[in-house]
Amino acid sequence: MGRLIVHRVAMSIPLLLIVSLIIFGLEAVVPGDAASTILGQNATPESLAALRVQLGLNDPWIVRYGHWLGGALHADLGTSIISGVDVTSSLNSRLAVTLSLLVPTMLLSAVAGIALGFASAVRGGILGRFIDVVSLFGFAVPSFWIALILVTFFAVHLNLLPATGYQDFATSPTGWLKSIILPVLALSLQGITSVAKQTRDTVMEVLETDYVKFLRANGVSERSVRYRHVLRNAAIPVVTSLGLVSVGMLSGAVFIENVFVLPGLGSLATQATLDHDVPVILGVGVFFTLCVIAINLVIDFAYGLLNPKVRVS
Amino acid sequence: MSDLLSTPAEFPVRRRGVLRAVLATARGRITAGFLVLLFACCLLAPVIAPADPLHQNLREILQTPSGAHWLGTDNLGRDVLSRLLYGGRSSIVAMLEGVAAQVAVAVPLGVAAGYLGGRFDRIVMRLADIVMSVPVIVILLAILAIFDHSIAVAMITLGVLGASGMMRIIRGTAMTIRQELYVSAAELLGLSRTQIIFRHILPRCRGVIIVQTSLFAALAIGIQTGLTFLGLGPPPPAATWGGMVNEAATTLSTAPWLLVPSGGLIALTVLALGVLGDTVRDVTAQSHTSSGGLRVKSAKRRPDAAQVSVPEGTALLSVRDLSVSFLTPRGEVEVLSGVSFDLDAGQTLGLVGESGSGKSVTARAVLALLEANGAVTGGSVIFDGRDLTRATRKELAALRGTRIALISQEPMAALDPSFRIGSQLSEIVRSHTDLSREAAHRRVLELMEMVELPDPEEMAKRYPFQISGGMAQRVAIAAALAGSPDLLIADEPTTALDVTVQADVLALLRRLQRETGMAVLLVTHDWGVVADSCTHVAVMYAGQVVEQAPVEQVFGAPAHPYTAALMASSPEKAPRRTPIDAIAGAVPPPGTRPDGCRFRDRCALSAADCAETDIPLVRLNEERVSRCIRTELLQVQP
Amino acid sequence: MKAATTAGEAAELTVSDLVVDYPIGWRRHRRAVDGVSLSVPAGRAVGLVGESGSGKSSLAKAVLGMAPLSAGRIAYGTTVLNDLRGAARPQDIQVVFQDPYSSLDPTKTIGYTLQEPLRAHSARTGRSLSRAEREESVRAMLAKVGLPAETAGRYPSQFSGGQRQRISIARALILQPRLLICDEAVSALDLSIQAQILNLLLELQAELGLSLLFITHDLSVVNHIAEDLVVLFRGRVMETGSAELVYRQPQHPYTRQLVMSAPTQDLEAQRARRERREALALPPARPAPLGEACPFAHRCAFAVERCRNERPLLRDAPLGGQVACHRADELPPWSEEHTQPREASGSPA
């Protein structure tokens, strides 16, 4: 168990390196650089050269990567080439927004997905069919489109919730709640349905195992069979899939933040992409990678708790 | 051995190509048809599109569908259908780029890692682990920033990064195939690794490759439309599906209709790819559960079997005319046909037969624990005066464990891997009694001593995977004895065990039976086990009991040709290195059983009248019945 | 059958002091075969019997070049097999595996599966066979194992376990080997099918003059088919000798326990075996010591101090054959009290 966590933490270092290296390396091999982006088309060769010296762009890319890495170790991710703002601080100020979207979505997906999947597997019948159909729907419908449909209905027609925008929790808890309800719903749909489908499949498999038959045959109550034995054994693969679903939600968050104009990391990254502002994207990359590492740690921990083979060895 | 419904030989089907198998299903035809049509229309957009996708007509903006504009017009008066067809081209191209990159990376790496194993496998898997955790979206955004909104580069990157998932699955499949004995056989022939990969490994991976490709194609469409939705693709006014959703968003309050064609088509395309993948998975998958992965409604009880005669005699368990059917993908198949036998208190009845005889199904049917797709279609199971086939769930639950208990063939699989042995036993003890936690624990230790488990205190703390098969069967026996049952059903309890361990377990069962006086229904294929442990025996063949009698009578002189032939086919019965009296042919699987006597095709005594009617069980003496009309001939046989 | 390939001369398989270790985890390993020596003389049927963990399958794998050898020597005639892999191995040794379902590639026709050895052989020797020659070989081989010629065009899923095992035998014999290794080849089959396959193997052995190394956990099966028996326990040979002697007069306590534990389908004989077993009051199974001890000492009713400290070597047994037991001379005499049908129908061949 402890070894598993240590292993995961050790793995996170190459992960961070790889993500930053991919982005940094790509930028280095492609013609055009930050100086030409900043100065635009009116730049003279002299001003470009001057700016390159100033930005240190004449160094080999590996040296620049070293500089960046050195800074990153001290929580300094450089500055935006467009606004000149410190990347770390602009990311910090937006992290809360993204977490306000992600954490409730993950919790909702886990709870609702497992409950629906479990119920449909043990009950079967119409509920089971329903889950099958809805999970296909959740798989197929793009989250940004669902978001727009939700906006049309709840914001435009019923005028119940704000269509866009974000309120800080500290300034207005109810405003915060209202501002995240639709984004969380839109982002959860895929999560809930895929967790429900996975849970349903796993539970149905566990229900057919010999030990479930054995427990039933020897008088253990159906309640205990379902809620102690089936749930516990189904939890192991479900937790694994929860991790994958959560990592996938990071992508969804980028689209959803744009639809609802939430000032989070995703919308920042989108804007930076339109602006060719690589340092900011790199910063978002680091933050997202840290999110993935955190998710994996939680999943590993849960996995270790659930699986006696991991716990015992 | 008991899993007769999964024996492939029973339903001879020609192997077909994956494509033909997929097109044989309605789902496959609909989704494949839709995708082909869509791709063709998009490809031919310049020819068939009703209008120029960029042609603006500001007098006809935001129209709903009409004869002129089948799907209406957008906020600049452009024809929505034409824009969809043109926009589809970029989505399809993007999808193909992503898929090509993914397959190019995942297939060679996956097959190589799975087949070669060793260090190469470890390195590849370590890398895949890391890549799985890369937040792909950020990389894509960076690519789009650096490569000036080139969707192509982004999709190829997506394919490479997304390959780790497909690679893992292919690797898993290749590893499984590597374990197959035919691969060992090919290696022994001296085939090279390349030859083995191309001849024996890749063909078996085809199914998963198609499934994963089609799922990934769905994902690629989703990502491409998302990126174009964010405006990161080709700049306006070029038509893209995502861009059209974005444009629709600006007129959300005035023209909500515009969301429907673009979003709907994205959803339909992704859905079709996803369902196609599922269909391929279904047609290529081996049946992985006992119900063949199918959830079907259980077969219905025949109405004419509603009236059951009151049980005669004093048998503890009396099975009368029990019929059981399973619904399979190929229709309803009768597995048991009118099975009858009796078991008195204190007796041990051996239920003997080969695979496909229905002996294990009988045992499960007695406990009303058939698989989801099986059902009793007729007859009765009278236990202590009550018909269990008509008992409610509640009544059955009250009987299980306390009156009837079960031990099964795979002792390890019978124990829940997530709970300690002590806790599982304790739960079973407490479900029969209202003992306190401590009292239950004491009872558990008592039970464990009863089944001669060494060091019960220590053993109770272990998990099932920490003990041997023989130990696990003792634990299962302890669990079955916890409620002091009157009847123990033992379904091939020693088949999976070594012969010395088997002898110990059989000795234990015999001792426990002597001490408790319970009756035992012992399902087995081994005449030696019958000779060792049973007082009575019922021989099953092709879903019927063909003979029942006390063991002395059966071993003395079999009263059914099948019993005699089966006993004679043991290697013990022939002098060393001389031919054994083998029975020609094989047990006919359910669905192909002959009319009349089911053994007649393989029987030396069969005559014309054996085929005429179904043969009833003939009573030969007080304790003996046989399903043969020519037993007198058998008696004179040596 | 038309000779499609050249058959080699029959030779003796000799295994000397073989040790097989499997790595488990890092720098640790499990010893599966611990110094085994045996031989299969040309044309003879040798049975290798043991329970799970006895190392019988590892030994088969080692002979086939599919297990890592830590020590010892395996030779076929004058050819040392130790380091030969794949195409370099003599095709005189072939194998039939246990699981008839996993033995055949489900995506290939039976004809393809049976032709594969011929093609591989052609590639090796540079002597190519025409398609017609290959097909003729396949037809002849199918007939030999009792299957119709149409079999060649079908897929494995269309056959039952017994039929598949016939096909596996055909594949093993199509290159006309001299030694056939049967690794639990009938263990997965039902009694009546098992009898058919045993008959087929005996018939083919006589007809083709094959040597057989027959590996199984089933005493009655191996006693039927083998002329010599080797009893394995935890990677070591416990006893070896003619099948008649080992089965009728076991001289090692482990062999005796094996015989007493195997239930026989004769009421009286089985009662006698059971009572004899119960009378011995064997100590309960405990985790065994290894290293310099008799591997069976912890379960042996006759074990003394010496058995726990000194590894018994295989030596000539009092009644013939060889046995690895310190106390072989002191054991009580053994006889099965009840006559079996075997004796009733005359002395064994």
Which of B1, B2, B15 should one mutate to test binding to chain C, selecting the residue with the greatest count of C CBs within 10 A? B15
How many Cα neighbours within 13 Å face the side chain of C94? 22
Tokens of C10: 């029959």
Tell me the C-alpha to C-alpha distance, in Å, between residue B576 and each of B347, C225, C255. Answer: 35, 6, 19
pLDDT at position B76 over 90? no
pLDDT band at residue B291 under the 50/70/90 scheme: very low
pLDDT band at residue A145 under the 50/70/90 scheme: very high
Size of interface B-C (CB pairs under 8 A): 223
Q: Are residues A129 and A69 in the same domain?
A: no
**Domain boundary residue among A24, A50, A73?**
A73
Q: How many domains does chain A have?
A: 2
pLDDT at position B293 over 70? no
One-character DSSP codes across B236-249: TTS--HHHHHHHHH
pLDDT band at residue B585 under the 50/70/90 scheme: confident
Three-state SS at B186: helix
pLDDT at position A6 over 80? yes
Residue C31 pairs in a beta bridge with C21
**Across the interface, do B134 and A18 touch by the CB < 8 Å criterion?**
yes
Nearest neighbour of A273 by CB, restricted to B141, B259, B271: B141
Q: What is the pLDDT of residues B169-220, one digit of tens each?
A: 999 999 999 999 999 999 888 888 999 999 999 988 988 999 999 999 999 9
Residue spans per domain, chain C = 102-176, 249-339
Shortest distance, CA B582 to any CA of chain C (angstroms): 5
* Chains C and A are in contact, defined as 3 or more C-beta pairs closer than 8 angstroms: no
Which of C224, C228, C244 should one mutate to test binding to chain B, selecting the residue with the greatest count of B CBs within 10 A? C224
pLDDT at position A200 over 60? yes
Provide the angle, in degrees to the nearest 10, between the axes of the packed helices A231-259 and A143-150: 70
Nearest neighbour of B452 by CB, restricted to C51, C155, C284: C284
**Across the interface, do B191 and C86 touch by the CB < 8 Å criterion?**
yes
* Chains B and A are in contact, defined as 3 or more C-beta pairs closer than 8 angstroms: yes
One-character DSSP codes across B67-92: SSSTT-B-TT--BHHHHHHHHHHHHH
Average pLDDT over residues C160-186: 93
- pLDDT, position B590: 86
**Across the interface, do B582 and C199 touch by the CB < 8 Å criterion?**
yes
pLDDT band at residue B298 under the 50/70/90 scheme: low
The overall average pLDDT reported for chain B is 87
- pLDDT, position C36: 95
One-character DSSP codes across C11-67: --EEEEEEEEEEE-SSS-EEEEEEEEEEEE-TT-EEEEE--TTSSHHHHHHHHTT-S
The B residues from 436 to 465 touching C (CB cutoff 8 Å) are 452, 454
Average pLDDT over residues B368-397: 89
Q: Is residue A52 part of a domain?
A: yes
Q: Which residues of A touch B229 (CB under 8 A)?
A: 142, 144, 255, 258
pLDDT at position B306 over 70? no
**Across the interface, do B133 and A247 touch by the CB < 8 Å criterion?**
yes
The residue of chain B nearest to residue C53, with distances taken between CA atoms, is B498
Shortest distance, CA B546 to any CA of chain C (angstroms): 16
- pLDDT, position A181: 92
pLDDT at position A47 over 90? no
Question: What percentage of residues in chain A have a pLDDT greater than 70?
Answer: 97
Q: Which residues of B touch C117 (CB under 8 A)?
A: 189
Instruction: Pinpoint the alpha helices (H) of B498-550.
Output: 499-516, 527-533
Q: Is residue A82 part of a domain?
A: no
- pLDDT, position B348: 96
Q: Which of A129-143, B221-235, B450-464, C313-327 has the lowest mean pLDDT?
A: A129-143
Average pLDDT over residues A60-75: 84
CATH superfamily of the domain spanning B27-53+80-286: MetI-like (1.10.3720.10)
Residue corresponding to tokens 């920490």: B466
Q: Does C78 touch chain B (CB under 8 A)?
A: no
Residue corresponding to tokens 């634990």: B475
Angle at CA B595, nearest 5°, toward B592 and B598?
75
- pLDDT, position B305: 46
Nearest neighbour of C341 by CB, restricted to B204, B525, B573: B573
Q: Which residues of B touch C160 (CB under 8 A)?
A: 7, 9, 586
pLDDT at position C345 over 50? no
pLDDT at position A5 over 80? no
Residue A149's domain is classified under what CATH number? 1.10.3720.10
Q: What is the pLDDT of residues B530-581, one digit of tens each?
A: 999 999 999 999 999 999 999 999 999 999 999 999 999 999 999 999 999 9
Q: What is the pLDDT of residues C15-65, one digit of tens each?
A: 999 999 998 777 788 889 999 999 999 999 999 999 988 999 999 999 999
pLDDT at position B598 over 50? yes
CA dihedral A145, A146, A147, A153 (to 10 degrees): 110
Residue B538 pairs in a beta bridge with B351, B548
Q: Are residues A119 and A173 in the same domain?
A: yes
Q: Does A48 touch chain B (CB under 8 A)?
A: no
Three-state SS at B563: helix
Cβ-based neighbour number of residue B622 at 10 Å: 6
pLDDT band at residue A303 under the 50/70/90 scheme: confident
- pLDDT, position A33: 66
- Are B467 and B461 contacting, i.e. CB atoms less than 8 angstroms apart? no
Q: Does A23 touch chain B (CB under 8 A)?
A: yes
Q: Rounded to an integer, what distance in angstroms lies between the CA atom of residue B352 and that of residue C190?
A: 12
Q: Which of A39-53, B57-71, C108-122 has the lowest mean pLDDT?
A: A39-53
Q: Does B576 touch chain C (CB under 8 A)?
A: yes
pLDDT band at residue B353 under the 50/70/90 scheme: very high
Which of C46, C56, C89, C105 should one mutate to test binding to chain B, selecting the residue with the greatest count of B CBs within 10 A? C105
The B residues from 474 to 503 touching C (CB cutoff 8 Å) are 498-503
A91 vs A79, residue with greater confidence: A91
- pLDDT, position B51: 84
- pLDDT, position A63: 84
Dmax (CA) for chain B in angstroms is 104
CA-nearest of B36, B160, B188 to B100 is: B160
CA-nearest of B340, B391, B341, B334 to B367 is: B391
Tell me the C-alpha to C-alpha distance, in Å, between residue C187 and each of A144, A282, B1, B496, C97. Answer: 59, 62, 11, 12, 10
Which of A15, A81, A200, A218 should one mutate to test binding to chain B, selecting the residue with the greatest count of B CBs within 10 A? A218
Q: Are residues A40 and A181 in the same domain?
A: no
The A residues from 218 to 257 touching B (CB cutoff 8 Å) are 218-222, 224, 228-229, 232-233, 236, 244, 247, 250-251, 254-255
Q: Does B527 touch chain C (CB under 8 A)?
A: yes
- Alpha carbon A192 to chain centroid, angstroms: 14
**CB contact set of B409 (below 8 Å; sequence gap of 6+):** B2, B360, B491, B492, B493, B495, B496
Q: Rounded to an integer, what distance in angstroms lies between the CA atom of residue C313 and that of residue C17?
A: 12
Q: Rounded to an integer, what distance in angstroms lies between the CA atom of residue B56 and that of residue B53?
A: 8
- pLDDT, position C346: 38
pLDDT band at residue B4 under the 50/70/90 scheme: very low
- pLDDT, position B351: 96
The residue of chain B nearest to residue C257, with distances taken between CA atoms, is B500
Which of B223, B366, B416 should one mutate to test binding to chain A, selecting the residue with the greatest count of A CBs within 10 A? B416
Provide the angle, in degrees to the nearest 10, between the axes of the packed helices B469-481 and B421-432: 20
Using a 10 angstrom Cβ sphere, with 0-12 exposed, 13-18 middle and 19 or more buried, the burial of residue A112 is middle
The overall average pLDDT reported for chain C is 87
Shortest distance, CA C106 to any CA of chain B (angstroms): 8
C348 vs B352, residue with greater confidence: B352
Q: Is residue A268 part of a domain?
A: yes
B65 vs B13, residue with greater confidence: B65
Residue spans per domain, chain B = 27-53+80-286
Q: Are residues A160 and A304 in the same domain?
A: yes
Instruction: Pinpoint the alpha helices (H) of B285-402.
Output: 359-366, 393-399
Nearest neighbour of C191 by CB, restricted to B552, B566, B579: B566
Q: What is the pLDDT of residues C224-278, one digit of tens each?
A: 999 999 999 999 999 999 999 999 999 999 999 999 999 999 999 999 999 988 8
The residue of chain B nearest to residue A275, with distances taken between CA atoms, is B145
- Ramachandran quadrant class, C294 (left: phi over 0; alpha: psi -120 to 50; beta: rest): beta
Three-state SS at B374: strand
pLDDT at position A185 over 80? yes
pLDDT band at residue B307 under the 50/70/90 scheme: very low
pLDDT at position B304 over 80? no
Q: Rounded to an integer, what distance in angstroms lies between the CA atom of residue C152 and that of residue C140?
A: 11
In terms of residue numbers, what domain contains A285? 87-312
- Are B239 and B215 contacting, i.e. CB atoms less than 8 angstroms apart? no
Please tell me the pTM assigned to this model: 0.86
Tell me the C-alpha to C-alpha distance, in Å, between residue B607 and each of A22, A232, B544, B584. Answer: 81, 58, 20, 17
Q: What is the pLDDT of residues A215-269, one digit of tens each?
A: 999 989 989 999 999 999 999 999 989 998 998 899 999 999 999 999 999 999 9
Angle at CA B381, nearest 5°, toward B380 and B386?
100
C116 vs C336, residue with greater confidence: C116
CA-nearest of A298, A273, A297, A302 to A285 is: A273
Three-state SS at C318: coil
Average pLDDT over residues B7-16: 40
Q: Rounded to an integer, what distance in angstroms lies between the CA atom of residue B374 and that of residue B360?
A: 13
